[in-house]
Amino acid sequence: MSQLTTNKYFFIVTALAFLLGIPFLAKIAFSSKEIYPSVVMPAAGSKVNIGKDGTCTFEKRQLYGIDPKTGTEIELNHTRFIFPAPIHDLRGMIMNDLGLFTYDKHTDQYTEVTNWWRQKLKEQHCSENVIIARKLKIDSKDFSQTVIDEKIYTLD
């Protein structure tokens, strides 16, 4: 106890270092994981490659619906599509396959999520049974898009 009193500030610093430092070290060690609650700020430290002409390529995730009349693809407005969820959660939702594989098809939760997406597709005048999620590579020179990943979700 006397040791604790004598070296009070050493113990405070050690406690603070553990409390603040461990969640941060966990995030550094396992980049897809993050502890909450913790004082760790989002950083997004990745980079883009810049060409000699100053152009670069970067990635974009885009959701599409299908026009029920013409059968053509319609780019969905993401903010409206996931409203009232904040737009920064879009990536998480796409990584989670829009929640379509979280529960079995016979469950109430599955029906709830498919009905939700159907309503969202309807709001944007799309066919109510298909959502296409693509990861695109975009060249800033001419904004040409290359599909690097594609998933088609059927809301049956």
Partner 1 sequence: MKKYIHWIDRKAHTARNSILISTHIDFNQNGLGVFRILFGLYSLLFSEHYWGWLKSIPSALYRNTRWNFFNIFSDFPADWFIDIMDITMLICMVCITIGYRTRLTSMVAFFIMLIMDGFAYNLGKIDHEIMMTLIFPILAFTNSRAKIAIRPETHTTKKTHDRAIALYAIVIVFGLFTSGVPKIPWMDFNTSTNGILRWYYEGYYVSDRVHLLAPYFKYVPIFLVEITDHFIPLFEMAGLYFLLKSRKTWYTWLFALCVFHLGNTLVLNIPFIPQVFAYGVFILPKFYNLYLKNARLNLWVIYPIGIILGCNNLFGILFKNQSTYFPIENNLYTGLATWIVLTILALSILLKKHPKPDTPL
**Cis omega (within 30 of 0) on the bond before 37?**
yes
For 78, residues 6+ apart whose C-beta sits below 8 A from its C-beta are 63, 87, 90
Q: Which is nearer to partner 1, 95 or 152 (CB)?
A: 95
Q: Which is nearer to partner 1, 65 or 114 (CB)?
A: 114
Q: Which residue ranges make up the site for partner 1 (CB under 8 A)? A: 6-10, 12-13, 16, 20, 24, 26-28, 32-52, 54, 56, 58-61, 84-85, 87-93, 95-96, 98-100, 102-103, 109-110, 112-113, 116, 138, 140, 143
Dihedral over Cα of 96, 100, 103, 108: its sign: positive
Q: Which is nearer to partner 1, 59 or 67 (CB)?
A: 59
